[in-house]
Amino acid sequence: MATFTVNDDFLDSASQTDSPAQQARRFSQSQPAKLAEEDKDEVLTPEERLVVLCRVCDQQFSKNVIDRHANYCSKVRGIESRYKISSEELLVQLNEAVQTRLRELQCLEELSSQRGQEPCDEVCVRKIEVLNQMSTVLSRLQRIQEDTTGVTYYRSVFAQIEEDMGTIKRGMAFNKECGATDAAIGPFGEIVLRVLKERKASLGETIRKKQHLFGLEKLINSDGSPDDGLAREAKVTIHDFEMVKPISSGAFGKVWLARKTASGDLYAVKIIRKADMIRKNMQEHVSNERNVMKLASNNPFLVDFYYAFQSEHHVYLVMEFIQGGDCGSLLENVGYLEEPMARHYIAEVVLALEYLHSMNIVHRDLKPDNMLMTVDGHIKLTDFGLSFVGAEVLSMSDTVSGNNRVVGTPDYIAPEALIGTGYGPSVDWWALGIVLFELLVGFPPFNDESPTHIFQNILKKDICWPLPPDDVGAEAKDLIEKLLTTEPNDRLGANGAGEVKKHPFFNGLDWDNLLGTKLMFQPEVDNELDTGYFVPHSSLSVSLVGNFQKSDATGTFVTTDTEGEDSGDEGDEGVGISKFNIPNFSYINFDGLADLTKEKSARKEKS
C-alpha cells in the first residue's frame, strides 16, 4: 500500500508520536478482546465469535449485540452533541432515552409472563435495576437548586454525586461481566458519568468560592484522574486518519483516500486550505457544503457524509469513498453512452434532485463530474460547495463590488443565473438537460472555447445538435428541449420532479426499484484502494465563482476573475489566517456511523 506522510508541508504539523486512536488500536490488537456477549452459554456460537467494531465509539462487540448497541450509542452521542453537558435539556433528553430502554425491558418481562414462560432472570432484573438507578440519578440532578445561605447544601449534593458515580460504575461493571451485556447500559452509563463529573467539578468550584475548606481538594479529586477509563467525548481530528493517496483536485480543495486508524475503514477526505478559502472568499461556500451534506444525509443517491472538522490551517470533510469514478471520467473513456444506460443514470439523478428539493436544497453545480458511480454502477451526487439551502427564490449571482459573481460551471449554468433575474430549483433541471445531452452526444450543447462564448450560446439557446439528427432519439430530444426551456417557470420540473418522471423518455422504468436494477456497466476494481476510474478533467469543467461584467453595448461577458490559478506558496498562510476558525463547523454523523456499523456487520456475517 502506497502511503503519504502527513507532514508540515502538506497538512498540519503532525506529532511524531502515535495519536490516541493509533495507541488504542495497537493496544487492542495486543490484548484479548473484551466482547459483549448476549448468551450466557460457555460455548460461544459462531455469531458470538464474530466481532464488529462500533464506528460511533470505536469499541468492539459481538455480532449479536452490535446493531442494538450502535443504535443506542448513536442516540446518546447525538444528545450529547446537541446540548451542553451542563444544560438541563440534556438531562431531560437523556432521561427520556433511558426510560425508553427501561420500558422495552419491562415489556419483555411482561410478555414472558403472559406467555407462561420463565420470568425475567436475575441478570435481567439487575439490568432493569441499573437503568432505574440511572434514571433516578438524572432526575436528582434536575432537582439541584441554588442555595445562597452557605456550603452545607452543596457539600451534601457533592457527596451524593460521589455516591451516584460509584453506583453507575458498579452497574456498568456488572453489565460487562454478566455474560449478557445490555446494548444500552454502556453508552448511557458513560454519558451519565460525564454529566456527574461535570456537575461535581462545578459544585467543587462553587464550594471553593463559598468558603475555603481545608482538605477539600482531596475530596474533589477522590474519584481518580480525569482519564479514568471513560470513553472520551466524541471528537475527531486528521490524526485519526492515515492518508493513502490523492483521488482528485477541484476548485475548492483536494480529495484524498484515507483510512481511519481505529476501524480500518476507507473514506474520501476533502481537504481545503484556509489560506485559499479566505483568498477566494469561499468561507460561506465551505460552510454551505458542510450544512447541506448534514441535512441531505441518508439518501441512497447522495454521497454519505460522516465528519467535519478543522485544524489551524485546513478544513476537512469526510465522506464515503465511492470507488467507481464519476460520469465525467466515464465519458472521457467511452465518448458517449447508449440511451438505456443514460436513461437509468438520469433517472437516479432525478430522484436525488427530488430529495434535495424536498429539503429546500438547490445543488447549483450538477454535472457529470459530480455524479459518482458505485461499484454496482449506481449514481451518487456529490460536491455541494455551491449548493444553497432555503425555500425562497434568490439571485443566482452574488453582488461583489458591483459585478455579478456567477456561481457554477460554465456549460451548465441556467440563463436566469447569467442575467441575474433570480433562481430556484429550476436551475438544477436546466443542468439535468445539459447532462442528458452530454451523456448521449459526448459534449455539452453550448460548449465553446471560453466561458464568455459559452454564456453567449446559452442566452441565444444555440444548441449544437448532432448530425444525423436520429443519433438522439425523439423522446430524449423532447425531454432535453423541455428541460432547456429558457423561462424557468415554464421549464419541465418547475412544478416538481413528478412531471419529469412522467415524461415518455422514462416509460417502462421502475422508479421504486432503480437500485435493484442490474446495470449494463459495473466498474471492476482491482482492490479496495483502486482509484483508477478517476481521471483528470478539462479546465473548463472546473466549477467557478467568477466575476463577470455584462457590457450593455455588446451583450458580451468579460471575466475579471480567473479560476484555477495557483494560490501561492504552500507555506504562505497569510496574516491572521492561522487564527481563523469557522464557527460551529465540527460535526459527527452518529446515525450514519451506526448505519455503517450495521452494514459492516452484515457484510462480515456473509463473508
Contacts of 205 (CB under 8 A, 6+ apart): none
Where does residue 210 rank: exposed (0-12), middle (13-18), buried (19+ CB within 10 A)? middle
Residue 217 grid cell: 481538594
CA–CA separation, 100 and 82 (whole Å): 19
| DSSP result, 9-21 | TTSS---SSPPHH
Q: CA separation (Å) from 139 to 80, 204, 305?
A: 17, 20, 35
CA–CA separation, 260 and 321 (whole Å): 12
- Quick one: the chain helix, strand, coil %, rounded to 5? 45, 15, 40
| Gyration radius of the chain's alpha carbons | 28
Residue 409 grid cell: 460551471
CA–CA separation, 290 and 317 (whole Å): 7
The identity of residue 150, as a single letter, is: G
576-582-584-587 Cα dihedral, nearest 10 degrees: -120
Identify whether 591 is a catalytic site residue.
no
Contacts of 100 (CB under 8 A, 6+ apart): none
Q: Which of 3, 83, 69, 71 is nearest to 35 (CA)?
A: 69
Cell 415554464 locates to: 490
The identity of residue 445, as a single letter, is: P
Judged by DSSP in three states, 39 sits in coil
Q: CA separation (Å) from 530 to 323, 380, 475?
A: 7, 18, 38
Judged by DSSP in three states, 362 sits in strand
CA–CA separation, 198 and 76 (whole Å): 17
> In 143-184, where does DSSP find H-type helix?
152-177
CA–CA separation, 72 and 82 (whole Å): 16
Contacts of 579 (CB under 8 A, 6+ apart): none
Q: Which of 485, 486, 473, 481 is nearest to 440 (CA)?
A: 473
Residue 550 grid cell: 455584462
- On the CB side of 329, CA atoms within 13 Å amount to 17
Handedness of CA 347, 349, 355, 358 (dihedral sign): negative
Catalytic residue of the set 265, 365, 428, 448:
365
CB 21 within 8 A of CB 58: yes
- Vertex 590: Cα angle to 247 and 184 (nearest 5): 145
Catalytic residue set: 365
